Amino acid sequence: MTPHPRVRTATSTDADRRVRTLVHALGERLDRTIRPLLAGVTRAALLDVPTHQNVGDSAIHLGTLALLRRAGVRVCYACSIATYSRDTLARRLGDGVILLSGGGSLGDLWPLHQQLREQVLADFPDVPVIQLPQSLHFREAAALARARAAFGAHRRLTLLLRDNRSLAAARNTFDAPTDVCPDLAFALGPLSRPVAPRARVVWLARRDREAAPHAHAGSHPTVDWAARRGSPLSRVERLGYRVTSAHPRIEPYANGPLMRLGVLACRERVRSGCAMLAAGDTVITDRLHGHILSLLLGIPHAVLDNSYGKVRWFYETWTHEAPIARWAETPADAVRTVAQWAS
């Protein structure tokens, strides 16, 4: 199949420059917000690292590691949602800080991640804990009350929220210091398109509990990177974490190799996700990181919301001025938008 030429707008050179400026500015905002919280810190534990197929969480993890390298902070302990060990973390942390991974799990929609967060806060009430940039969304009053109690009981918790709506909700709910901060994927900076486009449109649509009712509407077939089978490397990574969880005695020997394996698996997932997006002249997506990675790759795209609003919140806070990203209220609006770019 002959690749399509890349879609260009009438002022594409200027648009590319503006997008790169925006991406660099958001990366700098990350450094200005997070690095002061790490002043004097040389060691950190990074909890809830991804082992699943969601490319966005892998991009967040790689961005987190890039920021920590620039800050001179070494990761002394890392765990997935299933392999947290209080004793191992206590033994390795020393005078370091605990970092809770960023993303979209601050709330009750993904309860296992919230349970880990609350458990860590209870286990280490006197250790500095930084919740890296998250969207906040609670549906149930009881879950919100548990979170308020867990956060309120901790003496040294800082919450970073990745949009203005989440920031306002956190400040109305929790007593911990808060700030607004972009998604950590922006710490990766601009990315090169890994493949030439082969189709006019790639439609990346959620197929999970965050999918909006209209997620699969429209005349184009949709794909979802989180629904794909894991690569052999990802399967080895998950097996390693399962074995470590089942046999805690090997954890002191396995943690370092698992961290390195996890980085390789995250890089592979992000490369694969970028190739999926870059296969299109344009992109339609309701995934936040479909939007963010399209910006990093310089791909024109239409942005739809997820089930509860987090994509809109982020877009309105940080990226609404990007010339290659346009908001779409409906799938039909998104189709019309990308058709205009292709004409």
pLDDT given at position 300: 96
40: left (phi over 0), alpha (psi -120 to 50) or beta: left
Q: What is the pLDDT of residues 200-247, one digit of tens each?
A: 999 999 989 999 876 555 567 889 998 888 788 777 777 777 777 666
CATH of domain 24-187: 3.40.50
What sign results for the dihedral spanned by CA atoms 123, 129, 133, 137? positive
Which of 209, 202, 190, 204 lies closest to 308 in space, CA to CA?
209
Q: What is the pLDDT of residues 124-154, one digit of tens each?
A: 999 999 999 999 999 999 999 999 999 999 9
pLDDT given at position 219: 62
| Domain edges within the chain | 24-187, 190-247+257-342
Which of 146, 283, 139 lies closest to 210 in space, CA to CA?
139
What's the chain's length in residues? 343
pLDDT given at position 177: 97
Phi, psi of 52, rounded to the nearest 5 degrees: -100, 180
% of the chain surpassing 90 pLDDT: 73
Task: Give 81's contacts (C-beta < 8 A, 6+ positions apart).
Answer: 48, 112, 113, 116
pLDDT given at position 245: 65
* Burial per residue of 65-103, b for 16 or more beta-carbon CB atoms within 10 angstroms, e otherwise: bbbbeebebebbbbbbbebbbeebbeebbeebbbbbbbb
- Positions of the chain with pLDDT under 70: 1-11, 214-219, 245-248, 251, 253-254, 342-343
pTM of the full predicted structure?
A: 0.92
